[in-house]
Amino acid sequence: MPDITIEGPDGNFGAYLAVPAKTPAPGIVVAQEIFGVNAVMRGVCDWLAGAGYVACCPDLFWRIEPGIQITDKTKEEWARAFELFGLFDVDRGIGDMKTSLAALRLREGCNGKAGSVGYCLGGKLAYLMATRSDADCNVAYYGVGLDSLLGEAKNISKPTMLHMASKDQFVPPEAQAKIKAGLKDHPKVTLHVYEGQDHAFARIAGEHYDQAAADLANQRSLTFFKEYLS
């Protein structure tokens, strides 16, 4: 059952759901990139389900336009993606992520333990899930804007992993230095830097996809989830 509806306090919204062969299992809420719940995000859910997790990717753009599913292949789609990014309300998005987390924990097939993972915009949201939610653990891939959110790091009480690309065009060197300095001594945060990699190095078929770096990051994520969601 790949498409479900989540009931929220100010409206219902859709989500993609992938269920592992064996349940009950832990859950993972997947925070989308700026392209919506597209084939890439659904693929992430399917990958996580194959690894033994109930994975749910909520439509976080539903207030702007429900059902966005665009790609990174054309200038027009990039323009629309950045437009959506500009219109997106992060605080409401975190509210939807928390609603999705609660719904996933209660869903048949989920054993009640649940974390989050996010990419790009979703990486920012995964970081904020660590600071603002009771998710059991959180993983952020090349999150944007984290340098302006370090004041919330004191609220992180559950294990959190960050994957950072050293050549990320959307996270300049000064921002990366600030993030590293702000989180280096945090007992709950593990930060991995992928030298020479650009933003979205783990987006399959993306312009900057690097299989070796993606495989390493993904294996680290799966090991992390196994440790903290088992």
Residues belonging to the active site: 168, 199
The tokens describing 136, both together, are: 């059991």
d(CA 151, CA 136): 21
Burial (CB < 10 A; 0-12, 13-18, 19+), residue 200, is buried
How many Cα atoms are found within 13 Å in the side-chain-facing hemisphere of 223?
Answer: 8
Helix or strand (DSSP H, E) at 107: none
Look at the block and give the residue holding tokens 């989308």: 32
d(CA 36, CA 65): 10
* Contact in structure between 152 and 124 (CB atoms under 8 Å): no
Rg, C-alpha atoms of the chain? 16
Distance CA 156, CA 134 (A): 9
Characterize 76-89 residue by residue with b for buried, 16 or more Cβ atoms within 10 angstroms of its Cβ, and e for exposed.
Answer: eeeebbeebeeebe
